[in-house]
Structure 1
Amino acid sequence: MIDLNAIVLKYYSKLNETDLLIWEYIARHKKEVSSLTITELAEATNVSRTTISRFVRKLGLTGYSEFKVLLNMSNETLPQSREAFHEACDCLSNYINKQRDKDFGKVCQLIFDAKRVFVYGTGDVQQSVAKQFKRLFLSVEEVVYDFAGTTFDPAMYNILDSNDLIFIISLSGNTDKVLSIARQLKMTGTKIISLTEFKNNPLAELSDENLYIDTTKLSFLATHPNYKMTMPYYLLVELLFIQYAMYKNNRLVLSESK
């Protein structure tokens, strides 16, 4: 579907100050403008009919009629956008409710017993989540080492051992690269906890424990028709942090009482 906003951005350099004022008015009153004649729009924006016609042609359109068609199409997508927003909220709400009953005990125990904890993100978003993971766990005096690059230095296989724990954050858990890393880590005895989107994946099978995110494809952007939210990653890491903070406190209290 042709997006009117995208057209304006495409021809933005051709628009003068008056054109931009016209577009600003249209953008703020799309529904009302869709029913206006060219004369009525000219009066509403305090310009002439000729100026409106010139503005429309600068957008590569044949005339005001074509502009009105695209504007109406844009308005028709608004309910879909609202629906996508509600779907996004439902997705996050449902995911949080699922985590309410999840037992994080084994994951927390692996973190607590590990000599060192590492986290590795396989992509841009995953690396950002890894850094958030590192920041959060510092609050409970747990130093987490993260890999800042997209590559996994082979020298790490000589450093890691059975006393270490690594979180691998991957979208599918099914790429050759991440599976090769996981297999070599298993040979060193390193404990692995996977964070993936899909429950049935090879990385999860190679891991000691698995954590999953739920997400859904949303269609509200012409440039990203299958947009996926990244928030579940951050929600999962924060919920795990809260669970671990309580777990560690309980372990320390029990230790002091002996």
Structure 2
Amino acid sequence: MELEMLINKYYNNLNENDRLTLRYIINHKRECVRMSITDLATYCNLSRSSILRMTKKLGFSGFSEFKYSLKSDITFNKLEKENYYQQLNMAIETTLKRFRATDRLQIYHRIQMAEHIYAYGTGWAQRNAVLELKRNFLSCDRRIIDLTAKKEFEIARQYFTERDLLIIISLSGEIKEIIEDIRMLKFKHVPVLSITDSDFKNNELATLVPYNLYFQSINFSQRKNGNSIVNPTSLGTLFVLIDTLFFDYLFRNDDK
């Protein structure tokens, strides 16, 4: 990532040959890290001095320092990828462990007996999870009505009764935009199941509703992507939980 960031920083200092050479290097980092300056110059049909000037335009003292940075980039990306796999395995284990420790019988009873099941996702990924939930449960004749927008949720809320079930999927459980609605549902004894990230301590949604399930998200360090700074979060475990909820419900009912 360092090389890409330096190219963005010093882009205006680079000529067309520099940019073509760097484009090749970015796409062939592993090959280039084994090349000498002569090898790279020959391959790119440039002089050694042209390659050296290019590296200095990027702030390096010379080709050796440039190559060391390139090698560090490759090592960092490999470690980060391995770290992701480790974190993903741990997050899945944590999600499933917490799921198994939860008393799901009342949740399944509510799903089975509800006159209407509604579901609301507070964000883009959460709404996708609602669609997956809807698709799964439709196969066992449990229709879920997905509320795709806040206004739709507010309109539908007045029709919820204690014979229904509402499922809310939220990352943090912070629901300021619908907090008054949730309090009114609690007052009316409308059953609500929250599905939220277990990392958030101030999970207001989970404290207000009777049924809770948790997934473990994965947060990564800040990265530069083009001209933007991003803080990537993996919600893959949310979909693991959605699948686990459905199949556990299905198999438990099959056993009866």
Q: Paired residue for 2:242, among 237, 241, 258?
A: 237
Structure 2: which 5+ runs fail to align? none
Partners of 2:120 and 2:144 lie apart in 1 by 10
Partners of 1:6 and 1:151 lie apart in 2 by 42
Mapping of residues 136-215 of structure 1, within 5 Å: 136-198=136-198, 200=201, 201-215=203-217
Once the two structures are TM-superposed, the CA of residue 128 in structure 1 deviates from its matched residue by 1.2
TM-score, scaled to structure 2: 0.78
Q: Secondary structure at the match of 1:159?
A: coil
Aligned partner of 1:91: which letter?
M
**Cα RMSD (Å):** 3.3
Q: Which residue of 1 aligns with 2:87?
A: 88
Q: Which residue of 1 aligns with 2:58?
A: 61
Range 48-57 or range 189-198, more displaced: 48-57
Range 105-114 or range 195-204, more displaced: 195-204
Q: Secondary structure at the match of 2:148?
A: coil
Q: Which residue of 1 aligns with 2:105?
A: 105
Partners of 1:179 and 1:150 lie apart in 2 by 12
Structure 1: which 5+ runs fail to align? 252-258
Once the two structures are TM-superposed, the CA of residue 211 in structure 1 deviates from its matched residue by 0.2
Mapping of residues 217-232 of structure 1, within 5 Å: 217-219=219-221, 221-223=223-225, 226-232=231-237
Q: Contact 1:84/1:220 (CA < 8 Å) preserved in 2?
A: no
Once the two structures are TM-superposed, the CA of residue 236 in structure 1 deviates from its matched residue by 0.6
Q: Secondary structure at the match of 1:195?
A: strand
Residues 72 and 25 of structure 1: CA distance in aligned 2, closer, same or farther (over 3 Å): closer
Give the aligned length: 246
Once the two structures are TM-superposed, the CA of residue 24 in structure 1 deviates from its matched residue by 3.3
Residues 129 and 79 of structure 1: CA distance in aligned 2, closer, same or farther (over 3 Å): same
> Aligned residues: percent identity?
26
Q: Deviations over 1:7-64 (max 9, x none)?
A: 557859x88699547633553333x53464432211244544366467658xx62565
Residues 153 and 240 of structure 1: CA distance in aligned 2, closer, same or farther (over 3 Å): closer
Once the two structures are TM-superposed, the CA of residue 205 in structure 1 deviates from its matched residue by 1.7
Partners of 1:139 and 1:76 lie apart in 2 by 46
Q: Secondary structure at the match of 2:140?
A: coil
Residues 26 and 212 of structure 1: CA distance in aligned 2, closer, same or farther (over 3 Å): closer
Partners of 1:115 and 1:232 lie apart in 2 by 29
Q: Contact 2:120/2:169 (CA < 8 Å) preserved in 1?
A: yes
Aligned partner of 2:58: which letter?
L
Q: Contact 1:195/1:210 (CA < 8 Å) preserved in 2?
A: yes
Residues 235 and 9 of structure 1: CA distance in aligned 2, closer, same or farther (over 3 Å): farther
